[in-house]
Structure 1
Amino acid sequence: MKLSRITAYSSALVLGAVLALTGAGAAGAAQSAAAVDYVALGDSYSSGVGSGGYDSASGDCKRTPRAYPQLWAASHAPSSFAFTACSGALTGDVTASQLAPLNAGTDLVSITIGGNDAGFSDVMTTCVLQSEATCLNRVATARGFVDSTLPGRLDAVYTAIRSKAPSARVVVLGYPRFYKLSGNCIAGLSEAERSAINSASDYLNAATAKRAADHGFTFVDVAPNFSGHEICSGSEWLHSLDLLNIGESYHPTQQGQSGGYLPAFTSAA
């Protein structure tokens, strides 16, 4: 009887210690999450072009609270958050004007970059306005640039980020495929053009993933999140050609940011 009481008492002590440690661990985890210093870099896919509600103070950069970096910061309450992503940014623009908030205390960095360097805006303009053959040739030129020139430009950006934020977790996000093949679009680009554009997006993502991995960064493919929500899907999370808001064409909608990019980033942050 006495042994049972001692055993029960000891078990209670152990249980109490475990609960105390668990509570302390949870509190520590919460404190750690709150202590994150986060910097969001990149182009229009990170600034939030296409999702509306732009901050007038950001001017032509068109940053918005509906972009995935802002959504993540709103739900995770980092101790500091700097948002320097800008519409139209090239790799050189990131190194020239977006890296100031980075420092030795930066814990987390996100970035989308490379699409403008590869000329995807010109690719889409060419494909919409010119012949299928001209479109396919322009796509091939973009793929050639991804092979020959983009890796060096990405290296320069990634090296600069690591130099300024040596301890940060850097999450590099890719680009979605634009089109659902054999979808419900009855006009516009040919199926061959849509397939070539999708393939070029995959090609860009693969090259970006390789450079990110070589720098010890985490690459996140967002294409699976957009599956079933491409242009021609009937449930689009991407703008098609919009003549009234031409700059928003082929960019994620508000749902694309919250349902496509946000969970992709959150999984890796």
Structure 2
Amino acid sequence: MSRATPLACLVTTSVLALGLAAPAQAASSIDYAALGDSYSSGVGASGQSGSCLRSNNAYGPLWAAKNSPASFQFLACTGATTDDVRTGQVPTLSSGADLISLTVGGNDVGFTSTLITCWTTTDSGCVAKVNEAKAYAASTLGGKLDAVYAAIKAKAPGARVVVLSYPLIYASPATGCTLSTAKQAAINDGARVLDAKIQERAEAAGFVYSEVRDEFAGHEVCSSSAWINGVTLIPATNSYHPNNSGYASGYLPAFTGSAG
């Protein structure tokens, strides 16, 4: 009886392993839903419409257009807090959803009011406001996130849920910006604390956490190729949100790599 060589055994084992691996679910059979706030609705991109300021250039619609899922629910809405997602978006979520994406938490900690304060007060005033947001994230946000995640699991128990982070607004530090480096550092530090809490609670819920900072590195506000809008006047809501490139080259790859 001939004896198989080690190489032949390795090849055979590899082939068997490939043959026994569970095939990935085809996108055409996936029911996908995009939940969340303005970073999921597409604020900052072109083509926004309706009271929720949804844009087909947001990462959710971009993923759907590329992958042609069986169904797509675009439920994200500008200004949404954790309570808004839990009581307004989750109830309309399909119970058969296979894939869900989500950004939420920024409005809970006062994203807009913090940035306005940092633009209109001193360095110390900005730092104090950011510290308020960080304290809320530490004391209260975790419970709010847990409630949202539990509601999603109860409504669509079979779904793969991808929770995406927020990017850092500035490089470390950005030069040539109107805001001082102290304010930039404070804003970025607040974002890190927020993302850390989101990651902690998402992973505790058994969800997939996807960090977007790597994708946005080198494309922050004031960079030569910014994927995040600075202060905009028309419309003001676009301020500090991703532009078309930010959604297509930042958020979309971060989501696609975690969608399974």
Aligned-residue offset at 1:60: 1.7
Unaligned runs of 5+ in 1: 1-17
Aligned-pair RMSD on alpha carbons? Answer: 1.8
Name the structure 1 match of 2:188: 198
Question: By percentage of residues, which structure has more helix?
Answer: 1
Kept in 1: contact 2:221–2:230 (CA 8 A)? yes
Q: Does 1:172 align with 2:158?
A: no
Deviations 1:127-163 (CA, angstroms, capped at 9, x unpaired): 0011111100000000000001100100110000000
- What's the secondary structure of 2:97's corresponding residue? coil
Kept in 2: contact 1:132–1:193 (CA 8 A)? yes
TM-score (norm 1): 0.86
- What's the secondary structure of 1:109's corresponding residue? strand
Name the structure 2 match of 1:42: 36
Name the structure 2 match of 1:52: 46
- Pairing 1:1-269 to 2, within 5 Å after superposition: 32-54=26-48, 56=49, 59-185=50-176, 187-269=177-259
Q: Distance in 2 between matches of 1:194 and 1:77?
A: 40
Kept in 2: contact 1:82–1:101 (CA 8 A)? no
Q: Distance in 1 between matches of 2:159 and 2:226?
A: 34
Q: Distance in 2 between matches of 1:153 and 1:207?
A: 11
Aligned-residue offset at 1:232: 2.0
Deviations 1:56-112 (CA, angstroms, capped at 9, x unpaired): 3xx220111100000000011100110000000011111121113434421000000
Q: Distance in 1 between matches of 2:91 and 2:64?
A: 19
Aligned-residue offset at 1:242: 1.1
TM-score (norm 2): 0.89
Name the structure 1 match of 2:11: none
Alignment-mate amino acid for residue 233 of structure 2 = L
Unaligned runs of 5+ in 2: 1-14
Q: Distance in 2 between matches of 1:81 and 1:147?
A: 34
Which structure has the larger Rg? 1
Kept in 1: contact 2:173–2:185 (CA 8 A)? no
Alignment-mate amino acid for residue 208 of structure 1 = I
Count the aligned residue pairs: 242
Pair 1:76–1:101, CA change in 2 (3 A) = farther
Deviations 1:42-68 (CA, angstroms, capped at 9, x unpaired): 0000000000112x3xx2201111000
Q: Distance in 2 between matches of 1:237 and 1:82?
A: 26
